Structure 1
Amino acid sequence: MLLKSVALISVLAVIAQSVPATVKVLPFVDSSLPVKFRQVIAEAAPRVPSNLASYAFGVDLSVPTSLSQLQCVKQAGYSAVFVRAYNPSGQGSFDQNACSTIQNAYNAGLGTEIYMTPQPSSSKQGYQQLDEIYQGLTQVGITVRSIWIQVTSPTNWPSNANNNVNFINSIVSRARQYGMTVGIYTSYYDWNQITNGWSSIGNDVLLWYWNVLGGGVNGETPANFADFRAFGCWTVPSVKQFAQVEQVCQLTVNRDVYAAGTMLKAADAVQEDGKMYTGGFISGNQ
C-alpha cells in the first residue's frame, strides 16, 4: 500500500509539472500587481443602466470592428468607443485597424477617442511614435483632436523613472505641437511605479484611470468615480475603466464611464470641410 501511495504521488507530481503555469495578463492589467488575473473567457457584460444620469458609458478595444458590431454597441447604450491607434509589438507601429474602426464608429453614431500603447523600449522616440499615428490617420482623411497615452504595466517599462518621464513628455510635447488635447491612461500604482509619481506633466492633461478586481463581470468595480484618489497632478479624473474582458455585441472589450455632459455629440465629428474628426469628445470639465 505504501509503494502504491508513493507511486501515485509521483504521478501527480509529474502531471502538475506538465501543466503550464503561465498567467495571461489581460489588456491594461499590470502583471506585478498582488492579484494575478488568470485567463478569463469573456462573458456577456451586464446591461447599461438606463437611469444613471450622472455617467455615460463607453468601451475600449484593440481589435478590428465592423459597422454592424458598432451599431449594436450604440443600441446597447454606449456613447463612445476608445480605439487603439498604436500597437506596441516589436518596435511599435501604427495600428491600421484604427482607420476603419473610427469610420465605422462615426457611421454608427458613436463618439471616438484614440489611445496609443507606446513602446518605451523602441529605438523610436515617443514623439516619433505619435507622428506615425498622426500621419496614418491624416492620410485617410481623419483629423486627430486628442490622444490618450497608455502608461500601465510597469514590467513593460524600463526601470529608470527619469527616462520614462522623458519618453512620455516627448509624446505630450509633440501632441501639443499638433494642437491635440492629451490624456493619460494609468492608475495610482502604475503611475508611481513607472514615473515615480511625476506631478508636473501639466494641468491640461486629462486622466483616464483603471480600477478592477479581476477580469470579467465578477471583477468589476462600481461604475463611478467614488474610488478615485488623487495622484500625480490629478485631483479629478475624466474617465474610469471599471470592467475588463467582457463581451458586448460579440466583441471582447473593456468598459468605461465618464461624466455625462462632458462629451460632444457624435455629429460634431464632421464639420463643414467634410473631414472626419476623432478625439476631443470627452473633456476635463466636471
Structure 2
Amino acid sequence: MLLKSVALLSVLAVLCHSASVSVKVLPFVDSSLPVKFREVIAEAAPRVPPNLASYAFAVDLSVPVSLSQLQCLKQAGYSAVFVRAYNPAGQGSFDTNSCNTIQNAYNAGLGTEIYMTPQPASSKQGYQQLDEIYQGLTARGITIRSVWIQVTSPTNWPSNANNNVNFINSIVSRARQYGMTVGIYTSYYDWNQITNGWSSIGNDVLLWYWNVLGGGVNGETPASFADFRAFGCWTTPSVKQFAQVEQVCQFTVNRDVYAAGTMLKAADAVEEDGKIYAGGFIQGSQ
C-alpha cells in the first residue's frame, strides 16, 4: 500500500511539473493596434535618451493610468501622453476612463493630447462619435483644444474608400466647428488602403504617423522623422510612433516622438477659469 502511495505521489508530481512548465503568459491585446502587432508580450522600454535636443518623447495608451504612474512617466523623461477618448467596441462609445487619465496627467505635469479610435462600421456617423467625446469631456469640466483621429488597420474599415473619406471628413468638419485643431494618426500604407490616398483633407490637419517593424523593443524604428515619406497632403509630420507594446512605469504603452519646441507648456493645461484644457499641445513640426 505504501509503495502504491509513493508511486501515485510521484506521478502527481510529474504532472504538476509538466503543467507548470506549459503555462504561458497571456499576450497583451489592444484592438487599436495594427493586426499583426496585437498579440505581443509587453517588454520593458529602453530609457529615454538624456539631453536629446531635436525630439521630445510621449506615449499613447488606451487604458486608465494612475497619478503615480504618470508621475513616474514624467520622471522617466516623457513630456506628453496621448489618451484614447473613444472606444471602437460595438457601435463605439465615449471612453470614460479618459477623464481621470487627463486629470492625472495634468497633475503630473504632462501635456495631454486626445485621440479617438472611431468605429466606421457603426450606425452613428463620424461627427456623432466626435460629439460624444466633446459632450463627455465637457460635462466633466475638460475643454478639448484638439483631437487626433486614428485611421489604421484597413481590415477594420469598409472597402469603399469614398465612404471612408466621407466618414473621416465628417469628423474633421465637426472638429473645426468646435474650433479644434485636427490631426490624423495613420501610416503611408494605412492611408492609401483606407482612403485611396485622399490628399484634400486640408493643410491645417496635422499628421501623427507610425512606423514600427513589430511589437516590442526589437520592432522599434529610429526615434526620429528620418524615415518619413510624403503621402496624402502631408509633406512633414508632427508626431511619430516608433514603438508599440512596451512597458514604462509598469503599464503598457506605445512610444512616440515629436519635434522639441512644438509643444505648449503643461502649465497651459489650466487657464484662469479653472478648467482643464486637453489637446493643442503639439503645435506641428517647425
Matched to 1:205, the amino acid is V
Q: Distance in 2 between matches of 1:122 and 1:38?
A: 22
CA contact (8 A) 2:28 2:41 kept: no
- Equivalent in the alignment of 2:227: 227
Aligned-pair distance for 1:25? 6.8
Q: Classify the secondary structure of the residue corresponding to 1:143.
A: strand
Name the CA shift for 1:224/1:87 in 2 (closer, same or farther; >3 Å): same
User: For the aligned residues, what is the CA RMSD?
Assistant: 1.3
Deviation at 1:265, TM superposition (A): 0.4
User: 1:77, CA displacement in angstroms?
Assistant: 0.3
Aligned equivalents of 2:197, 2:112: Cα separation in 1: 29
Alignment partner, residue 218 of structure 1? 218
1:30 aligns with 2:34: yes
The CA deviation at 1:192 is 0.1
Maintained 8 Å contact 1:213/1:221? yes
AA aligned opposite 2:156? N
Matched, 1:199 2:199: yes
Once the two structures are TM-superposed, the CA of residue 52 in structure 1 deviates from its matched residue by: 1.2
Gaps of 5+ in 1: 1-22
Asked whether the equivalents of residues 70 and 108 of structure 1 are also in contact (C-alpha less than 8 Å), the reply is yes
Is residue 175 from structure 1 mapped to residue 141 from structure 2 by the alignment? no
Number of aligned positions between the proteins: 260
After TM superposition, give the deviation of residue 28 of structure 1 in Å: 4.5
**CA 1:133–1:37 in structure 2 vs 1: closer, same or farther (change >3 Å)?**
closer
- State the structure with more CA Rg: 2
* Alignment partner of 1:188 is 2:191: no
Q: Which residue number corresponds to residue 10 of structure 2?
A: none
Q: Distance in 1 between matches of 2:95 and 2:144?
A: 14
Q: Provide the rounded CA distance (Å) in 1 between the counterparts of 2:257 and 2:87.
A: 24
Whole-Å separation in 2 of the counterparts to 1:131 and 1:62: 19
Q: TM-score, normalised by structure 1?
A: 0.89
TM-score by length of 2: 0.89
Counting aligned pairs with the same residue, the percent is 88
Which range moved further: 196-205 or 44-53? 44-53
- In structure 2, what is the Cα distance between the partners aligned to 1:104 and 1:270? 13
Extract unaligned runs of 5+ from structure 2.
1-26
Shift of 1:39: 2.5
CA–CA distance in structure 1, aligned partners of residues 200 and 37 of structure 2: 32
Distance in 1, Cα, partners of 2:214 & 2:111: 27
Local SS of the residue matching 1:152:
coil
Per-residue CA deviations over 1:73-103 (Å, capped at 9, x if unaligned) read 0000000000000000000000000000000
- Aligned pair 1:279/2:283, yes or no? no
